[in-house]
Amino acid sequence: DGGITQSPKYLFRKEGQNVTLSCEQNLNHDAMYWYRQDPGQGLRLIYYSQIVNDFQKGDIAEGYSVSREKKESFPLTVTSAQKNPTAFYLCASQANFYNEQFFGPGTRLTVL
Amino acid sequence: EDKVVQSPLSLVVHEGDTVTLNCSYEVTNFRSLLWYKQEKKAPTFLFMLTSSGIEKKSGRLSSILDKKELFSILNITATQTGDSAVYLCAARPNTGNQFYFGTGTSLTVIP
């Protein structure tokens, strides 16, 4: 089955700890994205990557970092510098410029 | 500043009703508008619209784009409880990989 997987589904962390969210796709898509979703705010872009070993900041990149060492994988690290990390995080991929984005099931991060 | 605004923010209807969801956009060098349905988790793709006035249809759902007035509507006829979800629209420009999302319309269909 082709698709996007995110793990874990739920994540709890103490304040001040870094945490890494996983995103894997087997769709052979070039582009991958990370969004943050907060109640009443829609989806906000954190980072995106068009090809391996290249990525760009989105609107709210501060306090986050990413890597794109393999086409299939685009992990997101939420660092202790992120002031309000509790949110729902969505990963997406896109085959090429002309196509829609496909989304993973999301990770709900709660920082205690 | 590029932005997408959806209305209403939330809507409660009875099964069988017809609903119209609105999405207006201001995006420099606009290319296309997309609609997604989000039921708790992953948004699922519904439609992508690039041309004005051409209706896209899938079962009871349909959507149309007006590039002159900068808006799109999503219609759902004969609503069912399974249509309850948040409906997101997103606009994308002709350059770059940015998609601009609205805040969504929360639709609740009651039996």
pLDDT digits (tens, 9 = 90+) for A69-103: 999 999 999 998 888 999 999 999 999 878 899 99
**Nearest chain B Cα distance for residue A105, angstroms:** 4
Q: Give me the pLDDT at residue B97, please.
A: 78
Residue A1 pLDDT grade (very low, low, confident, very high; cuts 50, 70, 90): low
Total number of residues shown for chain A: 112
Token readout for A53 is: 């070993």
Cα B97–chain centre separation: 20
Query: In 3D, which of A94, A103, A38 has the Cα closest to residue B97?
Result: A94
Beta carbons within 10 angstroms of residue B90's beta carbon? 24
Three-class DSSP labels, A70-101: ECCECCEEECCCCCCCCEEEEEEEECCCCCCE
CB < 8 Å to B97, chain A: 31, 33, 48, 50, 56, 94, 97
CB < 8 Å to B9, chain A: 40
Q: Give me the pLDDT at residue A42, please.
A: 85
**Nearest chain A Cα distance for residue B41, angstroms:** 5
d(CA A78, CA A85): 7
Q: Give me the pLDDT at residue A16, please.
A: 87
CB < 8 Å to A34, chain B: none
C-alpha dihedral sign at A2, A95, B98, B100: negative
Chain A interface test: which of B94, B97, B100 (most A C-beta within 10 Å): B97
Q: Which residues pair with B74 in a beta bridge?
A: B21, B63
CB contact at 8 A, B97 and A50 = yes
d(CA A37, CA A89): 6
A-facing residues of B in 45-74 (CB < 8 A) are 45, 48
Q: What is the pLDDT along chain B (111 residues), one digit of tens a residue?
A: 889 999 999 999 999 999 999 999 999 999 999 999 999 888 999 999 998 888 999 999 999 999 999 999 999 999 999 999 999 999 999 887 789 999 999 999 999
